[in-house]
Amino acid sequence: MSAHATPPGATRAALPGSAWLGLLPDGEIKRRFILDCTGCHVWNERWVRDAEGRPRNAAAWGASIEKMLGLFGQGTGFPIISSWPEPAVLGAWLERAFAAPPGMPTLDPALRPARPGDLREYPVPEPGDLPHDLMVHPDGSVLITGMFTHRMYRLDPEQGTFATVPIPVTNANPRALDIDAEGRWLALLGAPGGVARYDPRTEQWQSWRFGAYPHSIVAAADGLVWWNGHFTVDPEVIGSLDPATGDIRRYTVPRARDSDTPAGESTIPYGLRVAPDGIVWATQLRGGGLIRLDPESGAVRQWQLPTPHAGPRRPDVAPDGTVWIPEYSAGKLARFDPRTETFTEWDVPVSDALPYVVRVDQRTGIVWLGTGHGDVLLSFDPVRERFSAYPLPTEGALVRHLDIDEERGEVWAAYGASPGVPSKVARLRP
C-alpha cells in the first residue's frame, strides 16, 4: 500500500500532500492535527519548508499556528480550529516530524482497475475560485458553486464551456449544492446564513435566511430542504425549510460525546444526507459523532465512531440503508448498519490520503471516495471488499465533493483553492 502514483523524477514540490503527512508519527496527535490544520488547503513543500527549501523550525511553526488561531480559532467568525493546538508544543512536534524529506511513493499495482478509465479535467474560469460543490443537472450540464466569487457556474461537458450565473445576494458565499425535483438549483449560502433557489426556466432567484452559518444541504423528495448549522453549539442544530411556506423548523442535536471537545466549543456539524425512508443522517466532524434524526417524531439518536478523532466528513446512504462515512483524519472508510447499530471500518489503501467525501452509486452499490491529500479518486466494491484507485493529474487536488451521473456512468469531482493550484472539476468514466 502506498500514498500515490508519482511520476519518475518528480520533485518534492510535486509530491501529493499525503507524502508529507506520511512523515507525521501515527497516533492521536496526528489525527487531531489533521482535523485542525489540513481541511482548507493541501500540505506540500510550500508549507513544510522555508523560502530556501530548509525545514522550518519550531519557532516558525509556532508563529504560523498562532496566526491561524487568530484567523480561524475559537472566538473568530469561522472557528474551524479547536482550542487544542498549543503553538510551542505542536511546533516542536512538527519540527521533529518534518526534519527529513519524504519518500517517493508509488501506487500499489493491485489498486489499479482492470480498465484505467477516461478522465477529463475542466479548469474553472477563475483559477483562484473555490468550486466547493458540483451536481449533474438532469439536462446534462454540471452546476458548480463558486464560493469565493459569489456566483454559480454551469458547465457544458461536451463543449467544455462555462456560463456564469450571478447570485443576487451580497457576498453570497455559495458552498453546498443540491437540485430539487423540479430541476431548480439550491445553493447554500455560507456567510449570509441561508439558501438561494434558482429556476433555470424563469431565470429567477428566491432566497431564505436561517440565522446560522450552514454547512450542508439536501433537497428531500417531499420538498423540504434540510440544512445544518456549521458552528452551532449548545445547542447544535439541524434544520428544515419548507420553500412553499417559508416555514423553518429547527431540531436540537446533542453534542458528540468526545470528551476532548471542551464545553462551549462546537463538535462541528458537517455532512448531511436524507435516506429514501426520510431519515436524516448527519456527522459531527470534530466530535466523531453520527446522528440519526427522525423528522416524523423529532427523535434524535447518536453514535460515536469506533476510532477516536476519526473526523467524519461527508457521508452517503446506500440503497440497502447502510450509511457510508469517510473518516478523514483516521484514514478509514466506515459503514454503519442501522439494523444492527454496528460499524465496520476499512483502512483506505492510499496512506494519508484523507478521505473527504463519499458518494454511493445507487444502481451498482459501488462506493466512491474523494480524497483531500492523495490526488486520487477511490472506489470500493462492498461485495468483494476491494478498492480501486484513479489518480488525478493535478497536484494538490483537494476533492471536497463528488456527484455520480448514473445515467451516463460518470463520476464528477470538484477540487481547488489551495494556493498556487488552479481550481478544476473532473469527469471520470471508469
Looking at residue 240, its pLDDT comes to 98
Contacting residues for 397 by C-beta, under 8 A, at least 6 apart:
42, 375, 413, 415, 416, 421, 424, 426
Q: Quote the crossing angle between the two packed helices 28-37 and 87-97, to the nearest 10°.
A: 110
Looking at residue 260, its pLDDT comes to 79
- Overall CATH class of domain 109-429: mainly beta
Looking at residue 4, its pLDDT comes to 40
Say how many residues make up the chain. 430
Instruction: Give the phi and the psi of residue 225 in degrees, each rounded to 5.
Output: -115, 120
CATH 2.130.10.10 range(s) for the chain read 109-429
Contacting residues for 286 by C-beta, under 8 A, at least 6 apart:
35, 82, 256, 258, 261, 265, 266, 267, 268, 311
Nearest 5°: CA angle at 389, between 384 and 393? 165
Closest among 375, 378, 377, 382 to 398, alpha carbons compared:
375
Beta strands in 124-202 (DSSP E): 131-136, 142-146, 151-156, 161-166, 174-179, 185-189, 194-199
Query: Rounded distance, CA 314 to CA 294, Å?
Result: 19
Query: Rounded distance, CA 80 to CA 69, Å?
Result: 9
State how beta strands 316-317 and 323-327 pair. antiparallel
Three-state secondary structure call for residue 65? helix
Cis peptide before 127 (omega within 30 of 0): no
Residue 410 in grid coordinates: 460518470
Closest among 363, 279, 369, 278 to 324, alpha carbons compared:
369
Find the largest Cα–Cα distance for the chain.
61
DSSP structure string for 357-395 = EEEE-TTT--EEEEESSSSEEEEEETTTTEEEEEE-SST
Per-residue pLDDT of the chain (430 residues; tens, 9 = 90+): 333 434 333 455 578 899 999 999 999 999 999 999 999 999 988 889 988 989 999 999 999 999 999 999 999 999 999 999 999 999 999 999 999 888 766 777 878 887 778 999 999 999 999 999 999 999 999 999 999 999 999 999 999 999 999 999 999 999 999 999 999 999 999 999 999 999 999 999 999 999 999 999 999 999 999 999 999 998 999 999 999 999 999 999 998 876 678 888 999 999 999 999 999 999 999 999 999 999 999 999 999 999 999 999 999 999 999 999 999 999 999 999 999 999 999 999 999 999 999 999 999 999 999 999 999 999 999 999 999 999 999 999 999 999 999 999 999 999 987 888 899 999 999 9
Residue 348 in grid coordinates: 483506505
Contact 373, 398 (CB under 8 A): yes
AA identity, residue 95: E
Contacting residues for 8 by C-beta, under 8 A, at least 6 apart:
none
Query: Rounded distance, CA 108 to CA 82, Å?
Result: 35
Task: Answer positive or negative: Cα dihedral of 326, 328, 329, 331.
Answer: positive
User: Long-range CB contacts (< 8 A, 24+ apart) of 231-235?
Assistant: 231/78, 231/79, 231/80, 231/266, 231/268, 232/266, 232/269, 233/264, 233/265, 233/266, 233/267, 234/264
